[in-house]
Amino acid sequence: MPPPVASRASILRLLSLTSNQGCRGCGRTHSALDHHAHSPGHGHSHGHGYGHGGRRGMATPVEKAIRGPPPGNTDYAFEMAASTLRFGPFATQEVGMDLSNMIKQLPAADRSQAKIGVFTDPNVVRLPVMEVVEESLMREGLNWVVWDKCSVEPTDKSWEEAIDFARSSHITHFLAVGGGSSMDTAKAANLFTNYPEADLYEFINAPIGRGKPIEKKLSPLIAIPTTAGTGSETTGTAILDIPSLQFKTGIASRALKPTLGIVDLNNTATCPKEVAIAAGLDVLFHSLESWTAVPYYERTPRPANPIMRPAYQGSNPISDIFSKWALETTIKYLPRIAKDAFGDEEARAQMLLAASTAGIGFGNAGVHMCHAFSYPISSLNKGRPSDLQYHHPSYSPKIPLIPHGVAVSLTAPAVFNFTAPSSPSRHKEALALFLGKDRAHELTNIRDEDVGKALSEEIKKFLDLVEVPRGLEKVGYKSDDITKLVEGCLPQRRVLDLAPVLAKDNLAQEKEQLAKIVENSLNW
């Protein structure tokens, strides 16, 4: 039988008995109607639930008084930011409705002035994805114009051309269709259209630019990736090459992240194998670098204002979840892309998920030395004499190019051998993913001091599977180039500051460490 229903009289009697047993928030006795904040003289605020002498009340989780942040200059908090993402084949067909919905949010008087800028490159503009995009925009009767001059590996010049186009065309809504280069170009065009008086260096990362924080809310931006790599559809990062300075840099701010990323399996169906592998390598090291980056509570400087907290904050418990899953997925599926880039739909779908997932991970944790080195590796190649330039087989033979994912990979074996002492357990977890279940027993015989070497060897084996050139010499660099590569790496403070072990407070020692990594990367 069910228990008898309590009578009204018994309920009132219980309330009367407990009315003087103390407030549930602070443990002090006062009228139930007297729920005000207690005076500072009593050592606590009712709103925080602390009792006399800083002891907690019944509902509070901490047995100490509230104090300020811990001493020192390291950070004490981290943030998570990512774009809204939509996954699924044929999701691209919805983009016209998405933009129409965004325009309807404008004041009625402004809707007729809405204009969409579609940013893509000369190759993607001829692919089926653009037909789908254009049909979707036409169905909604939207006003749009295409900028199809986004450069692969964008430069300051190509960014400025796109920015001029966006400003002069009075673009109010941005749509990027393509790889990371098109998405990053659209981010830059969006930013500088909203800051019409700003020059390019206003927001570029220090010390190259002034690194000004972005204080405005930017215009809506939808990103549709056609490669599984950069994760740019979910990050607030945009990278460019500055040939006159012979290195790459970029802008990093949560304000840059797209409003929506549409991740559609159909859009990678025509991606050439070499391009898919290069993009997948970027996913691999986005994951591994963010997994091994210094933890957020060791990163300096502590921001004086939350708006100054960088997008790249260091590894943290939430980014770790995304980074580790993306790493495991890439290790499993990228070799399958190398075997069958077009026919293996499962591998393509999983790599798209991994790219966006890694984007969430590194977009909040950051990357470190592999990416720092990749920028001078890519940029210096373009400025070398033509007989020394490297041309990747999957891109135009007229353009000297070391694809970003390949450039990132070339120093990776040496980098993770170097960083392993910072956290042998974390590097051993990464090693376990490379070994897989069938070889998991090998971990028991690996000492902490040997983890770096073992991880380095497994990275080399993996890179061999996907046919990455075996070291910097295979793309034209010699020992004479070590100093130039180190000098090109040093300005990348945004990522170098997240590198474990690196002697960031001793320039001479830091240069020596970086030079040794380059030397060990010349040949595998």
Per-residue pLDDT tens over the stretch 230-270: 999 999 999 999 988 877 899 999 999 999 999 999 999 99
Q: Which whole number is the average pLDDT over 32-59?
A: 40
Residue 69 has pLDDT above 50, yes or no: yes
Q: pLDDT at position 9, please?
A: 61
Residue 24 has pLDDT above 60, yes or no: no
Q: How confident is the model at residue 395 (pLDDT cuts 50, 70, 90)?
A: confident
Q: How confident is the model at residue 393 (pLDDT cuts 50, 70, 90)?
A: confident
Q: Which whole number is the average pLDDT over 335-349?
A: 95
Q: pLDDT at position 20, please?
A: 46
Residue 414 has pLDDT above 70, yes or no: yes
SS3 assignment, position 224: strand
Q: pLDDT at position 12, please?
A: 56
Q: Which residue has the higher pLDDT, 297 or 36?
A: 297
Q: pLDDT at position 61, please?
A: 53
Q: pLDDT at position 123, please?
A: 94
Residue 183 has pLDDT above 90, yes or no: yes
Integer Cα distance of 518 and 293 in angstroms:
19
For residue 453, which of 411, 414, 408, 410 has the smallest C-alpha distance? 414
Write down the pTM of the prediction: 0.85
Q: How confident is the model at residue 152 (pLDDT cuts 50, 70, 90)?
A: confident
Q: How confident is the model at residue 380 (pLDDT cuts 50, 70, 90)?
A: very high
Summary mean pLDDT of the chain: 89
DSSP annotation of 86: E
Q: Which whole number is the average pLDDT over 187-193?
A: 98
Residue 470 has pLDDT above 70, yes or no: yes
Beta bridge partners of 407: none
For residue 105 the two structure tokens come to: 């949010």
Integer Cα distance of 294 and 296 in angstroms:
6
Q: Which stretch of 158-172, 388-402, 499-513 has the lowest confidence by average pLDDT?
A: 388-402
Q: pLDDT at position 27, please?
A: 37
What residues have CB less than 8 Å from 69, skipping those under 6 apart?
76, 302
For residue 455, which of 341, 301, 291, 333 has the smallest C-alpha distance? 291
Q: Which whole number is the average pLDDT over 268-279?
A: 94
Q: How confident is the model at residue 399 (pLDDT cuts 50, 70, 90)?
A: confident
Burial class (CB in 10 A: 0-12, 13-18, 19+), 429: middle
Integer Cα distance of 95 and 93 in angstroms:
6
Q: Which residue has the tokens 């919905």?
A: 101
Q: Which whole number is the average pLDDT over 363-384?
A: 94
Q: pLDDT at position 21, please?
A: 44
Residue 13 has pLDDT above 70, yes or no: no
Residue 59 has pLDDT above 90, yes or no: no
Q: pLDDT at position 246, please?
A: 78
Asked if residue 381 lies in contact with residue 374, where contact means CB atoms within 8 angstroms, the answer is no
Q: pLDDT at position 207, please?
A: 87
State how far the alpha carbon of 429 is from the alpha carbons of 53, 445, 461, in Å. 44, 14, 17
Asked if residue 359 lies in contact with residue 235, where contact means CB atoms within 8 angstroms, the answer is yes
Per-residue pLDDT tens over the stretch 109-147: 999 999 999 999 999 999 999 999 999 999 999 999 999
Q: pLDDT at position 236, please?
A: 95
Q: pLDDT at position 102, please?
A: 98
Q: How confident is the model at residue 63 (pLDDT cuts 50, 70, 90)?
A: low
For residue 82, which of 248, 303, 427, 321 has the smallest C-alpha distance? 321
